[in-house]
Amino acid sequence: MAQAIIVSIDTDVAAKEVLAALRARLDPDPERAARKYVLLRRKLVSFFEWSGADSPEACADQTLTTAAWKMTDGAPVQNVQADCVAIARTILDKQQQARAQAAAAPD
């Protein structure tokens, strides 16, 4: 069952700010950072498509947002791409567990 996500304007602004910080971690030059961000997102979308995830683009966005918020919490991140891969795997695992539970549930 899908859950509605309520996003306020303040939350949207905060998310944009943390994603900007993530891009800055990818590269200090804003243009190169933007290109690296787009490339990383494409790779994540491909990973989720290849893995059979529901909504690969949404999963990629969730991965990037989670990584960005994790950085603002002061968690040490030495390699943004590697951290995103770990987060993506966690998201995929949770999705697969939810599918397995739904399949095992009696009708």
Write down the residue that tokens 């994790």 correspond to. 70
How far apart are alpha carbons 16 and 30 in whole angstroms? 15
Output helix, strand, coil percentages for the chain, rounded to the nearest 5.
75, 0, 25
Kindly state the tokens that stand for 79: 């390699």
Per-10-residue mean pLDDT, the chain, length 107: 41 80 93 95 97 94 93 83 96 94 80
10 Å CB burial of residue 64 (0-12, 13-18, 19+) is buried
pLDDT value of position 5: 40
Angle at 78 between CA 71 and CA 89, to 5 degrees: 75
pLDDT value of position 107: 65
